[in-house]
């Protein structure tokens, strides 16, 4: 029996963000190299995208590589970048066929040129797709994003494109790399870690959090349904009291 029957189709989160963690430990448990875990993580990515598209989720943000991940051994970074290129090569057609658009957030200019080129191609090719939008967080960290937003805002102020009165929460949000994308309703982290590791600090202000000990390569459609069912039991009060909702 699938948990999909227990998902309330009228209360699907518009935006799900996932910290896909635990690939290394998954590989270690099997006595293999870390990259083997990353490779197996790709099928979990596919499952999360498919399930999200089927349920009518509008945005799915996947934390794929953090700014801090640049501090990993070069051999692992290189392997992750190659895996990204290979995955784009094999999956682009399926994305387009399923009307799925791809976007990125983060300091993508710091990625290797070949990766930037591949990403540019798939973003362009999928730009007219109107179904699910998949947002890959690459070379992303929230403090980088907020600092970068502040810098650009100061520049616009100095060059007189905006005034002090223009600076509202909405305006500030428009300087983020997530500009135009609604805040996540649900944030999931796998692998049993209870932290957000510099992910969407601004945007997660009122998101519901779901933590699971499942390692990312084992995260399948049923695991996503489980997270959504849990989310659907929550009361999102946004500061109000129950009776006001």
21 an active-site residue?
yes
Residues 6+ positions from 111 with CB-CB distance below 8 Å: 81, 119, 138, 139
Please say which residue, 13 or 24, places its beta carbon nearer to Mg ion: 24
Within residues 12-41, the interface with Mg ion by CB under 5 A covers 21
99 an active-site residue?
no
- Smallest distance from ligand IPE to CB 45, Å: 11
Q: Which of 43, 69, 11, 22 is nearest to 186 (CA)?
A: 11
Please pick, among 5, 23, 69, 98, the residue that the annotation labels catalytic.
69
- Smallest distance from Mg ion to CB 215, Å: 10
Please say which residue, 21 or 91, places its beta carbon nearer to Mg ion: 21
CB environment 3-33: b (16+ within 10 A), e (fewer): ebeebeeeebbebbbbbbbbbbbbbeeeeee
**Cα–Cα dist 51/57, whole Å:** 9
Question: Can you give the binding site for ligand IPE, defined by CB under 6 A?
Answer: 19-25, 63-66, 68-69, 80, 191, 193, 195, 197, 216
Residues 6+ positions from 5 with CB-CB distance below 8 Å: none
- Smallest distance from ligand IPE to CB 118, Å: 17
Active site residues: 21, 69
Binding site for Mg ion (CB under 5 A): 21
């Amino acid at each position: 029996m699938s948990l999909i029957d227990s998902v309330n189709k009228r209360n699907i989160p518009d935006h799900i963000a996932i910290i896909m963690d635990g690939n290394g430990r998954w590989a270690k448990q099997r006595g293999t190299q870390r990259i083997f875990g990353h490779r197996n993580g790709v099928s979990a990515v596919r499952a999360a995208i498919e399930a999200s598209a089927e349920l009518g989720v509008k945005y799915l943000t996947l934390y794929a590589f953090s700014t801090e991940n640049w501090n990993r051994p070069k051999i692992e970074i290189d392997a992750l970048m190659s895996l990204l290129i290979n995955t784009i090569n094999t999956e682009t057609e399926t994305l387009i066929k399923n009307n799925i658009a791809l976007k990125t957030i983060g300091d993508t200019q710091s990625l290797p040129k070949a990766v930037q080129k591949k990403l540019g191609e798939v973003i362009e090719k999928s730009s007219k797709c109107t179904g699910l939008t998949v947002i890959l967080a690459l070379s992303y960290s929230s403090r980088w994003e907020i600092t970068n937003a502040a810098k650009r805002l100061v520049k616009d102020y100095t060059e007189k494109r905006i005034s002090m009165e223009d600076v509202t929460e909405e305006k500030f949000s428009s300087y983020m790399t997530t500009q135009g994308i609604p805040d996540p309703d649900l944030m999931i982290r796998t692998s049993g870690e209870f932290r957000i590791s510099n992910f969407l600090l601004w945007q997660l202000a009122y998101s519901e959090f779901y933590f699971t000990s499942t390692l990312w390569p084992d995260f399948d459609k049923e695991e996503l349904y489980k997270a959504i069912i849990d989310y659907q039991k929550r009361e999102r009060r946004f500061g109000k009291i129950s009776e006001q909702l």
